[in-house]
C-alpha cells in the first residue's frame, strides 16, 4: 500500500509540474523555431532546427508586415526599462521613509495602514480613467511620467507594507543606542536601520520593478506611441490578424519574461514574504 501511494504521489507531482511549466516551455521553444515549424501537425514539441532569426527579425518576413519583426522592439525595451527602474527607485524611497515612520512612531496608526492596503487593492481600470482625463489636462499622456506616476499607485502601498514588517524586526534598542550616542532620527534611520533592512529594500525594489515591467492596463490607456509605450503593449499589438507570426511573438514574449523570472528566482526568499503581506515568513 505504501509504495502504491508513493507512485501515485510521484505521478501527481509530475502532472502538476507539467501543467504549470508547459506553457512556459512552449513559449520558450517557439521563440527558437523556424517559420515552417510554427504551423505543423502534430505540433513540433522540440524544434528540429534551432534559429535565432525570430530575435533578429529574419523569420516571418513573408507575412509582409512590420509588426512581425522583433527588430523594432528597441524603443519599447528602452521605455520599459526606464519606467520600471524609476518606479522601483521612487517607490522604494517613498515606502522606506513611510514604513520607518509607521514602524517606529506609529504615525497614523491602524487607520493609515488600512488605507495603504486598500490602495493596493484598487482595480486599475477604475484608476486608469480619471488619471487619463487628469493627465491629458496636464499634457502628461504618452510620457514616461504618466506611466511612472500611475505605476507608483500600485507599487508603493505594497512596498510600504512589506517594509513595515522588515523595520519591525530590527530591534528598537539599536535606534535608542544611536540616540544616546548623539545621533538624530535621520542619522539613526540612514546609518542604522536602513542598512539592516537592505534585503527588504532589495526585495521591494525587485517586486516594484516586476510589477511595473509587466503592467499592461495603464500603459494601454496612458500611452499612444513608441515614445512611451512599453513591452506589454508592443506584444499586445501582435495579436491581430488571422495568422499570427508566432516565432517573433514568442521571442518578444521571452525577452519580456526573462528579467522577471531571473529576478523572482534570485529574490524568492523575500518575495514570498512580500506576496503574503508579511503574514507568513517565507
Partner 1 sequence: MLSALHRRKRIGFFMVLPLLLLFIGLTVYPFAYMIYMSFHRYTLASWEKPEFIGLENYKEIFQDRTARSSVKFTILLLAVACPLEIVLGIGIAFLLRDFFGERTFRSTLLIPMMVPPVVAGIAWKMLFNFEFGPINYFLSLLGVDRVSWLGTQFFAQLGIILIDVWQWTPFVFLVIYAGLQSIPRDVVEASLVDGASGWSALRYIELPLLKPLIWVVLIIRLIDILKIFDLVYMVTFGGPGSATHSYSFYIYKVGISFGWDIGYASALSVILLIVVSLLTNLLIRFLRLREVLGL
Least CB distance to partner 1 at residue 11 (A): 11
Site for partner 1 in 260-279 (CB under 8 A): 260-261, 264-265, 268, 271-272, 275-279
HSE (CB half, 13 Å, CA atoms) of 36? 3
CB 53 within 8 A of CB 117: no
Can residue 7 be called a binding residue for partner 1 (CB under 8 A)? no
Please list, in sequence order, all residues whose beta carbon lies within 8 angstroms of the beta carbon of residue 242, skipping any fewer than 6 positions away.
Answer: none
Task: For residue 196, give the H/E element and its range.
Answer: helix 194-196
Site for partner 1 in 172-201 (CB under 8 A): 179, 185-186, 189
CB 38 within 8 A of CB 247: yes
Kindly write out the interface string for residues 62-91 of this chain, putting x where it contacts partner 1 by CB under 8 A and - elsewhere: ------------------------------
Least CB distance to partner 1 at residue 133 (A): 6
Report d(CA 68, CA 101) in Å as an integer: 50
Report the sign of the C-alpha dihedral through residues 53, 55, 58, 59, in that order. positive
Minimum CB distance to partner 1 smaller for 50 or for 115: 115
Phi, psi torsion values for 33, nearest 5 degrees: -90, 145
Minimum CB distance to partner 1 smaller for 169 or for 227: 169
Least CB distance to partner 1 at residue 177 (A): 15
Least CB distance to partner 1 at residue 41 (A): 6
Please list, in sequence order, all residues whose beta carbon lies within 8 angstroms of the beta carbon of residue 47, skipping any fewer than 6 positions away.
Answer: 29, 32, 33, 34, 37
CB 203 within 8 A of CB 267: yes
Phi, psi torsion values for 50, nearest 5 degrees: -90, 145
The radius of gyration of the chain from alpha carbons, rounded to an integer in Å, stands at 23
Site for partner 1 in 218-247 (CB under 8 A): 220-221, 232, 235-236, 238-239, 244, 246
Please list, in sequence order, all residues whose beta carbon lies within 8 angstroms of the beta carbon of residue 120, skipping any fewer than 6 positions away.
Answer: 154, 157, 158, 161
CA distances from 118 to 90, 143, 154, 171 (A): 20, 27, 10, 28
Kindly write out the interface string for residues 17-46 of this chain, putting x where it contacts partner 1 by CB under 8 A and - elsewhere: x-xxxxxx-xx--x-------xxxxxx-x-
Q: Which stretch binds partner 1 (CB under 8 A): 15-23, 61-69, 71-79, 192-200?
A: 15-23
Least CB distance to partner 1 at residue 127 (A): 6
Site for partner 1 in 102-121 (CB under 8 A): 102-110, 112-119, 121
Site for partner 1 in 127-166 (CB under 8 A): 127-134, 149-150, 152-153, 156, 160, 164-165
Minimum CB distance to partner 1 smaller for 3 or for 186: 186
Least CB distance to partner 1 at residue 221 (A): 6
Least CB distance to partner 1 at residue 231 (A): 8
Least CB distance to partner 1 at residue 24 (A): 6
Site for partner 1 in 202-221 (CB under 8 A): 210, 213-214, 216-217, 220-221
Amino acid at each position: 500500500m505504501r509504495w502504491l501511494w508513493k507512485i501515485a504521489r510521484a505521478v501527481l507531482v509530475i502532472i502538476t509540474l507539467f501543467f504549470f511549466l508547459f506553457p512556459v516551455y512552449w513559449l520558450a521553444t517557439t521563440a527558437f523555431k523556424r517559420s515552417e515549424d510554427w504551423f505543423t501537425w502534430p505540433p513540433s514539441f522540440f524544434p528540429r532546427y534551432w534559429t535565432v532569426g525570430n530575435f533578429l527579425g529574419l523569420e516571418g518576413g513573408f507575412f509582409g508586415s512590420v509588426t512581425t519583426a522583433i527588430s523594432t522592439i528597441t524603443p519599447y525595451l528602452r521605455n520599459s526599462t526606464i519606467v520600471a527602474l524609476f518606479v522601483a527607485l521612487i517607490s522604494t524611497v517613498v515606502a522606506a521613509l513611510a514604513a520607518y515612520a509607521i514602524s517606529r512612531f506609529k504615525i497614523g496608526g491602524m487607520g493609515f495602514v488600512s488605507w495603504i492596503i486598500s490602495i493596493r487593492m484598487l482595480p486599475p481600470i477604475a484608476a486608469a480613467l480619471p488619471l487619463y482625463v487628469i493627465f491629458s489636462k496636464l499634457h502628461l499622456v504618452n510620457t514616461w511620467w504618466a506611466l511612472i506616476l500611475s505605476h507608483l499607485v500600485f507599487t508603493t502601498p505594497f512596498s510600504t507594507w512589506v517594509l513595515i514588517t522588515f523595520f519591525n524586526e530590527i530591534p528598537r534598542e539599536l535606534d535608542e543606542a544611536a540616540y544616546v550616542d548623539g545621533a538624530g532620527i535621520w542619522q539613526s534611520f540612514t546609518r542604522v536601520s536602513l542598512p539592516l533592512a537592505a534585503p527588504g529594500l532589495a526585495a521591494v525594489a525587485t517586486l516594484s520593478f516586476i510589477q511595473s515591467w509587466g503592467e499592461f492596463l495603464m500603459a494601454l490607456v496612458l500611452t499612444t506611441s513608441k515614445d512611451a509605450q512599453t513591452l506589454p503593449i508592443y506584444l499586445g499589438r501582435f495579436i491581430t490578424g488571422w495568422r499570427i507570426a508566432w516565432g517573433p511573438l514568442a521571442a518578444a514574449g521571452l525577452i519580456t519574461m526573462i528579467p522577471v523570472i531571473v529576478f523572482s528566482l534570485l529574490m524568492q526568499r523575500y518575495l514570498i514574504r512580500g506576496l503574503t503581506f508579511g503574514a507568513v515568513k517565507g
